[in-house]
Structure 1
Amino acid sequence: MRVDQALSTALAAEHAAVYAYGVIGARTTGELRAVAIDAFNAHRARRDRLRTLVIARGGDPAEPSPNYRLPVTPSTAAQAVELAVLVEQGVTGAYLELTASGDPALRKMAALAMQECAVRAYGLRPAVETFPGMPVRPDPTPTSTATTPSS
C-alpha cells in the first residue's frame, strides 16, 4: 500500500472514530462519558493532523461521511463500551500500514496512535486482543489430559 493510501485509510478511520465517540458521548453519563469525550478529542486531534499531512503531501483529504453505520448503537453502558472497543480496534488496524512507511516520522506517529488505541481499549475492557494481522492466540487455559483410572 502506498503511503498516501495508508494516510487516507487512517484518516477515514479517524473520521469514523470521531463520529462514533460523538454518539457514545451523547448516550452516556458519568465517567464513561468523560472517557468518551477524551477519546473524541484525541481522535479529532489525530484526524486534524492526518488532514494536514495529506495536504502537505499534495493530496486531497477525504471528508467524513455524512452518515456511518455503527456496528452497535449504544443504549446501555455495556453497548457503549463494546462500540468504543470496536472503534479502537478498527483505528488500530487502520494505522498498521503506516508503520511500514519509509518515513520514520510517519512510522512513529502510526505506532503511537496504535499504542494509544490499544491502551484506550484495554482501559475500557481489560482484555488483550490479538494484534491486527496476527493469528488468533491459542487459549491459555490448560486442558486436562488426565484420565480416571478404570475399576
Structure 2
Amino acid sequence: MNKLISAALAALFSAGSAVAAPLCGELGFAGLLAKCNRGEPIEITLGSGKPLGKGAIALQSGAYYEMRVTADGSAELALTGAQFFRAIWMNEIVINGIEVRPMAIDSLEFDEAGTATLSFIAIKPGSYEVKIPNTTSDSQKVAISIQ
C-alpha cells in the first residue's frame, strides 16, 4: 500500500516542471515521510478574540508537515478549510493520543481546551486559507500557499 501511494505521488511530482521537489533527494525506505522531508511545524491557536497564527504560511509541495491546532477553551470554536484539506494528503490526526486516519475533513471543532495534531503531505500548489467559520477579521484566518 505504501509503495502504491509513493508511486502515485512520484508520478504526480514528475507530471510537470512547475511542481516543487521534496525537501531531500534520497528519500530512502520511509519515502515522503522521511525525516529529511519534513517542514517546520505549523502552530494554530483557537481562542476567543485571539489571532489564529503569526502570518501567512508557505508550504512546499511534496513535503511532510505537522499542524498543531490548540484551543484554549475560551469558547467553542472550529477551524474550517475544506479547499486546503483537499489539497493535501492527510496522514493522520492525533487527538488525546488517539490516531485517526481520515480520507478527508472539512473542519475541526473544539468544545473545550485541547490539541489536535494533523500530519500531512502538501500536494496541490495554490493559495488556500483556514479560518474560524462565520468570522470576517483577517486575524481569524491564516493564508496558506503550497508552492
Structure 2-normalised TM-score?
Answer: 0.28
Looking at CA atoms only, which structure, 1 or 2, has the larger radius of gyration? 1
Structure 1-normalised TM-score?
Answer: 0.28
More helix by share: 1
More strand by share: 2
